[in-house]
Amino acid sequence: MGRYIFRRSLLGVATLLLVMFVLHLLTTFAIQLNGNPALAFFGERVPTAAQLAAVETRFGLDDPCYDQTGNPCLGPFAERLGAYAQGDFGTNLRGREVTDIVATAAPNTLKLFLVVTIVWFLLGMGLGTVAARWRGRSADHGIRLTSVLIDAFPIFVLLLVYRYVFAVPLNQWATETFGAESLPALWFRPSFDDDHPWATLLVPGILLGLAGSAAFIRLVRASQLESYTGDHVRTARSRGLTERHVVVHHVVRNSAVPVVTAVGLTFTEALAGAVITEGMMNIYGMGGVLWEAVRGTDVALVLGVVTILAAVTVAVMLVVDIAYAALDPRIRYA
């Protein structure tokens, strides 16, 4: 077990380094091909060579390799790794600490993800179970049709319609009925409010969760249908257990395992959805920060944020792997 953890940790670090290097190359080439972000600092004006050089130094882009297309800029990369090793994640182009940005943005994204995950779970397990239990009946057809409908509405359509059609009248109504600082009024605020993060994240989280729930509904349904015909269910029934007991303990619980795995896998996809949700609902989160950083070719910020994200992902994967072994006696690592 100890050797396994050591090997996995080593693999994790190697993965991390690879991710960082690929990103470093991409952002470096972006600068070399698209032009130096330092120039954008001057807008319509033509800077003198000295002014440009000063801003390049300030932005940490003064290494001549950034002007040589194709140069992988290994020097700055090594410097950055050294700084990271000492816990210094650097600053964005205008001098704000990357760790400070992440510390402000990450909690909002995590809160959003929590709401999304709960919605996935509730909708997926709830509707999927009903559809499987009454397979081929009208409930099943209705749920399957619903899941197709959900797929047909991308998240930005849901949010656009919500913000511009529903949010304002609902907010007005709630404000008049319950008062401006009441929970219902906050739920329907058209944008995120940092003073009331949970209340204002609820509806966007539910919508983002709804938009991604179709796959879960189908996954749970398929997995439970398999269970219904499984040997262990037949055995349970033959022992004379009530149908209710069989469904709850042997079908629904078993089907939760693939769903948990899928939640993990879909997490990265959810980040993509979070970029849109965060952008439209004005949530200061990781997706939005990353989006703006890429747009502004802010190398230090892109690398810093992704490295922190990748490090967390690698660590979580490691914990999950180890937890599997601890939970399931059939899994042994050697």
Partner 1 sequence: MGRRAALAAAATAVTLVLASCSGGGGNDDGGDSTEGGGGSDPDATLRLALAQDVETLLPMDSNVNDNISVLDVVYDGLVRYDPETTEPYNYVAESVESDDNTVWTIKIKPDLTFQNGEPVDAEAFARAWNYAAYGPNAMANNYFFERIAGYEEMQGETDDEGNVTVEPAAEELSGLEVVDPQTLEVTLTGPFAGFGTMLGYTGFYPIAQECLDDIEACAVKPIGNGPFQVDEWDQGVSLTASRWDDYTLDESPAYGAIEWTEYAGTENWPDFQAGNLDFAVPPPAEMVAAQNDPDLQERFVEGPGAALTYLAFPLYKDGPWTDVEFRKAISLAIDRQGIIDALLPGERVPADSWVVPDGVPGGEAGTCQWCEFDPDAAKAALEKAGGWPEGETLTIHLGQDETEQALFKAIGDSIQENLGIPYELDPTPDYFDRRGARDFSGPFRANWFPDYPLNENYLAPVYASGDVKNGNVNFGYYSEDFEAAIKAGDESATLEEAVTHYQEAEAVLAEDFPTVPVVFSVNSYYYSENVSNVVLDPFSGEPKLRLLEVSNAM
Q: Which residues bind partner 1 (CB under 8 A)?
A: 34-36, 39-58, 62, 64, 67, 92-96, 100-101, 104-105, 163-165, 167-169, 171-172, 175-176, 189-191, 194, 278-280, 282, 284, 288-289, 292, 296
Tokens of residue 283, six digits: 């949530």
Asked if 265 and 273 touch (Cβ cutoff 8 Å), the reply is no
Minimal distance, residue 162 CB to partner 1, in Å:
10
Minimal distance, residue 159 CB to partner 1, in Å:
10
**Complete DSSP assignment for 207-275:** HHHHHTHHHHHHHHHHHHHHHHTSHHHHHHHHTT--HHHIIIIIIIHHHHHHHHHHHHHHHHHHHHHHH
- Looking at the Cβ atoms of 118 and 157, the one nearer to partner 1 is 157
Minimal distance, residue 270 CB to partner 1, in Å:
19
Going by C-beta distance under 8 Å and a sequence separation of 6 or more, which residues neighbour residue 37?
Answer: 31, 59, 61, 93, 296, 297, 298
Tokens of residue 220, six digits: 């749970």
- Looking at the Cβ atoms of 59 and 216, the one nearer to partner 1 is 59
CA distances from 189 to 113, 184, 185, 284, 290 (A): 19, 9, 6, 15, 25
Half-sphere exposure of 317 (CA within 13 A, CB side): 17
- Looking at the Cβ atoms of 165 and 319, the one nearer to partner 1 is 165
CA distances from 285 to 47, 93, 102, 203, 290 (A): 34, 18, 8, 16, 9
Half-sphere exposure of 47 (CA within 13 A, CB side): 16
Minimal distance, residue 116 CB to partner 1, in Å:
20
- Looking at the Cβ atoms of 96 and 234, the one nearer to partner 1 is 96
- Looking at the Cβ atoms of 54 and 311, the one nearer to partner 1 is 54
Q: For residues 145 and 141, what is the distance between their CA atoms, to the nearest angstrom?
A: 6
- Looking at the Cβ atoms of 185 and 303, the one nearer to partner 1 is 185
- Looking at the Cβ atoms of 12 and 285, the one nearer to partner 1 is 285
Minimal distance, residue 269 CB to partner 1, in Å:
21
Minimal distance, residue 174 CB to partner 1, in Å:
10
Asked if 246 and 237 touch (Cβ cutoff 8 Å), the reply is yes
Minimal distance, residue 137 CB to partner 1, in Å:
35
- Looking at the Cβ atoms of 93 and 132, the one nearer to partner 1 is 93
What are the φ and ψ backbone dihedral angles of 127, each rounded to 5 degrees? -70, -40
Minimal distance, residue 310 CB to partner 1, in Å:
22
SS3 58: helix
